[in-house]
Chains A and B, each alone.
Chain A
Amino acid sequence: MKLSLFNSKNKKIIKDPLMGENPISIHVLGICSALAITTKIDTAVVMTIAVVAVLSISNIVISLLRNHIPNKVRIIVQMSVVASLVIITDQVLKAYMYDMSKLLGVFLGLIITNCIVLGRAEAFAMQNSPSKALLDGMGNGLGYGAILIVVAFFRELFGFGSIYGVPVITETIFMSGYENNGLMILSPGAFFILGLIVWAHRSYTKVIDKD
């Protein structure tokens, strides 16, 4: 049997987390880091890359081990795998991309506590083959990153008047009385933006909490 990596079923695995099953706006996971590192687009982009890498690899490893992990200790095993991967990522960045590692600082280590990583290991990788787990990891990482970058876009635009470090609000607009919104730089600004995005996204995808 010939199995293409990108048949329609596998495409769904990678596409769903981007829209209908988005980890942030639908499942409300990974909120802490979505608040912490979204003041500027560049940190959001680097964080996205790191999360996609860790999530993909941890999904593959857990999926390979899935038939051997004793049920009683499965969460601990998943946790150890994720933690080790995050530390290795941190070490590799420190050795080969020192500037990028300095930019992310403590937040890279905090990927360990990102509920999405553990959530996907438990909910998907434990039941599926490594190739599917890889796609799921990439999809969820990108779905997480997409929201991060959208939030960062608005916060940077209104908080600093720039997009990806390039000033877009010109001096003349400032002269006519416009001011950067300080609230956008602080955590409450992220809550407002994130709330609006969750609202918009849910009314578009027609997802409603059943209770």
Chain B
Amino acid sequence: MRSDTYTIIFTMIVTVILGLGLSITADSLRDKQVLNVELDIKKNILSVLGFKKDGKWSDEEVQLLYDKNINEIIINSAGQQVEELSNSSDSRYTIYESRKSNKITGYAIPIAGKGLWGTMYGYFAIEPDASTVKGITFYKHKETPGLGGEVDKDWFKNNFVGKKLVDINGSLVSIEVVKGYVSSTDPNAKHKVDGISGATITGKGVTTFLKSDLEKYEPYFAKIRKLNEIESL
């Protein structure tokens, strides 16, 4: 039997060594981790806007492509483009605009909201016509792998491409994730996508936050649709 003093000293030494080890590891890896997160976000913005590559992008390629093609713009709640907010109580929304030889090829907006286990984060991309879906992606979520976790798989994301955000009158309806499959006879099929089996709550979550996020950006996109309409006349 060891003395109590030995026990206390031993525990203290172990705690200090483990604590030190942990903080050193965390501290020395932090820069690399922050960089990974940033690159991952940029990679997601690029991929949702349709930049594709067979195999993996290298870190430098992501940085280069992003700097060359993506333009970050800030809008306020009225949908006006601003340099920086004049009134700090106003909401600040970011839009990522992709351009190719000075022509806009798409808009990406950040989306986030509750899934089953936690908040899901991603990006949603819209075609230059401001009414057709260009793509969707999730970069952070806590959904069950194989069930709700399927939101970041290609088969689910590809369902969104080409769907319509607005009805024929031009008002926002958003996209709904249904339970099971979208019936081909459904007149609203162009506003709906197939759900994930075994992940009904995740699907409902996506439907809810997609709508509320799109509503925030609606003033800006409504203006773009109007502009497009005038131009086409």
A, B: real partners: yes
A132 contacts partner chain B, Cβ-Cβ < 8 Å: no
Interface size class of A (residues with CB under 8 A): 35 or more
Contact B145 A43 (CB under 8 A): yes
Q: Which single residue of chain B is at the shortest CB-CB distance from A105?
A: B142
Q: How far is the CA of A182 from the CA of B187 in the complex (A)?
A: 28
Q: How far is the CA of A118 from the CA of B29 in the complex (A)?
A: 27
Interface string of B109-153 (1 = CB under 8 A from A): 000000001000000000000000000000110101111010000
Q: How far is the CA of A69 from the CA of B13 in the complex (A)?
A: 11
Interface residues of A: mostly helix, strand, loop or mixed?
helix
Interface size class of B (residues with CB under 8 A): 20 to 34
Contact B29 A84 (CB under 8 A): no
Partner of A95, one of B11, B29, B140, B142: B29
Q: How far is the CA of A180 from the CA of B146 in the complex (A)?
A: 14
Interface residues of B (CB under 8 A from A): 1-2, 6-7, 10-11, 14-15, 18, 21-22, 25-26, 29, 32-33, 36-37, 40, 117, 139-140, 142, 144-147, 149, 197-198
Stretch at the interface among A11-19, A21-29, A70-78, A195-203: A70-78
Contact A94 B36 (CB under 8 A): yes
Known contacts A72-B7, A77-B14, A84-B18: does B142 contact A96 (CB below 8 Å)?
no
Contact B29 A92 (CB under 8 A): yes
Known contacts A73-B10, A182-B197, A185-B146: does B33 contact A95 (CB below 8 Å)?
yes
Interface residues of A (CB under 8 A from B): 36-37, 39-40, 43, 65, 68-73, 76-77, 80-81, 84, 87-88, 91-92, 94-96, 98, 102-103, 105-107, 155, 159-160, 180, 182, 185-186
Contact B198 A70 (CB under 8 A): no
Q: How far is the CA of A87 from the CA of B18 in the complex (A)?
A: 11
